[in-house]
Amino acid sequence: MASHGLAYDGCNFFRQRLVLSTLSGKRVKIKNIRSKDDNPGLRDFEASLIRLLDKVTNGSRIEINQTGTVLFYQPGLLFGGSVEHDCNLQRSVGYYLEALLMLAPFMKTSLKATLRGVTNDPTDPTVDMLKSTALPLMKKFGIDGEGFDLKVVKRGMAPGGGGEVVFTCPVRRTIRPVQLTDPAKIKRIRGVAYSVRVSPQMANRIVESARGVLNQFIPDIYIYTDHMKGANSGKSPGFGLTLVAETLNGSFLSAEMSSMPQGQGDPMLPEDLGRNCAKLLLEEVHRGGCVDSSNQSLALLLMTLGQQDVSKVLLGPLSPYTIEFLRHIRDFFQLMFKIEVQKPSEDERKGGDKVLMTCVGVGYSNINKTIK
């Protein structure tokens, strides 16, 4: 590698690269961003992410060429504080929030971010899912306290948006290593069925069909219905369901589905949505592990940044996104994980293959945090 940091090609995993660059302080150059496309260069939602990173950091240098196909990013110090950002409507708030979750504990002052836009859409993790799985996961790594919260003030469905969430996170000097090797059995299932700008009965129909599937396995199921009205309901109609299974050891596995945005694709009956979402949750439980597939990269990042001690986490099969994330961790932090595949025997009924990830943290310490 030359002294100009890391060089990448193409628009894939754009967010991972910027987040890891910001944390490691290594500059990054990405070229050929959709250079062969009819509409070349950065998309609006990526530009919006860059603007958000610019807001939470101090002294970042960002250079983009005229066509938007080459990006040079030199990270500044993570500053934090109070930030407001209007997210691009092409992606949901979850896309931006996932990046913020990774950066928030390492700010100089504790972060209070108000993000506006689409809170629930079919492609990105919704705000409800991050609230019910990513936050408890971060608490295991010692990131908690009264200021650690994610509030959904207004819901906004795609394509119109109009939602608003407030994310607050305290700063930490160091991250504690974890040993999450035994997920244990599922003890209860919780969920939220939400509907905006449609009949409130929709949510009840979703709940009924989801329970129809899940009641065969476990009695302790409670799905809240959340029907926001008036100004809090955003600009577009829609409904959806987020389900979370909690294990005896306090791991959370989740699945979710949202209705298709108005005017796109075939409309879906709430009954089908509830049933399919319940099946997705069962699929996630089958994959198993202590962290569900959507939060694998967050867990691995926090393990990497832990103190110089061994962390172990048992995951289900690694998603392609996670595999690429591991490669990026190797690039930015020179850290390799030890990966052991565990095949549960047929009679154990423990679901799919598991992967035990072990690493020694790089001893990352928050240099931005002010010493009082």
Residues 63-106: pLDDT tens digits? 999 999 999 999 999 999 999 999 999 999 999 999 999 999 99
Instruction: Output phi, psi for 218, to 5 deg.
Output: -155, 135
> Considering the domain boundaries, does residue 58 fall inside one?
yes
> Considering the domain boundaries, does residue 152 fall inside one?
no
- Is pTM beyond 0.75? Reply is yes
Helix, strand or coil, per DSSP, at residue 304: helix
> Considering the domain boundaries, does residue 305 fall inside one?
no
> Considering the domain boundaries, does residue 155 fall inside one?
no
Q: How confident is the model at residue 263 (pLDDT cuts 50, 70, 90)?
A: confident
Look at residues 287, 311, 345 and tell me which one is the last residue of a structural domain: 287
DSSP 87-108: --TTS-HHHHHHHHHHHGGG-S
Torsion of CA 130, 238, 263, 255, to 10 degrees: 40
> Considering the domain boundaries, does residue 38 fall inside one?
yes
Look at residues 261, 287, 313 and tell me which one is the last residue of a structural domain: 287
How many Cβ atoms are within 10 Å of 160's Cβ, its own excluded?
18
- Checking if the pLDDT of 43 tops 90, the result is yes
For the chain, what is the domain count? Answer: 2
| Angle in degrees, 0-180, between the axes of helices 201-214 and 270-287, rounded to the nearest 10 | 40
Helix, strand or coil, per DSSP, at residue 208: helix
- Checking if the pLDDT of 340 tops 90, the result is yes
pLDDT at 238: 94
Q: What angle do CA 308, 312, 313 make, to 5 degrees?
A: 135
Distance from C-alpha of 268 to C-alpha of 260, rounded to nearest angstrom:
7
CATH number of the domain enclosing 59: 3.30.1370
Cβ-proximal residues to 361 (8 Å cutoff; 6+ apart), any chain: 175, 177, 303, 304, 305, 306, 307, 308, 309, 311
Distance from C-alpha of 209 to C-alpha of 205, rounded to nearest angstrom:
6
pLDDT at 166: 97
Distance from C-alpha of 75 to C-alpha of 80, rounded to nearest angstrom:
14
Q: How confident is the model at residue 183 (pLDDT cuts 50, 70, 90)?
A: confident
Distance from C-alpha of 41 to C-alpha of 61, rounded to nearest angstrom:
19
Higher pLDDT, 264 or 240: 240
Look at residues 287, 320, 344 and tell me which one is the last residue of a structural domain: 287
172 within 8 A of 253, measured Cβ to Cβ: no
> Considering the domain boundaries, does residue 124 fall inside one?
no
> Percent of the chain, pLDDT > 90?
87
Instruction: Output phi, psi for 301, to 5 deg.
Output: -65, -45
pLDDT at 256: 96
Distances (CA, A) of 178 to 165, 300, 302, 362: 29, 11, 9, 14
End-to-end CA distance of the chain: 38
pLDDT at 1: 41
Higher pLDDT, 4 or 307: 307
pLDDT at 184: 85
Give pLDDT tens digits for 156-179.
Answer: 998 999 999 999 999 998 999 999
Beta strand spans in 18-88 (E): 28-31, 57-58, 61-64, 71-74, 77-78, 80-86
DSSP state of 252: E
pLDDT at 366: 85
CATH number of the domain enclosing 237: 3.30.360.20
Bridge partners (DSSP) listed for residue 117: 163
Give pLDDT tens digits for 112-144.
Answer: 999 999 999 999 999 999 999 999 999 999 998
Q: How confident is the model at residue 192 (pLDDT cuts 50, 70, 90)?
A: very high
pLDDT at 345: 73
Instruction: Indicate the average pLDDT of the chain.
Output: 93
pLDDT at 372: 53
> Considering the domain boundaries, does residue 349 fall inside one?
no
pLDDT (average), residues 143-153: 91
- The range of the structural domain enclosing residue 227 comes to 186-287
Tokens of 206: 């979703």
179 within 8 A of 246, measured Cβ to Cβ: no
pLDDT at 2: 46
> Considering the domain boundaries, does residue 171 fall inside one?
no
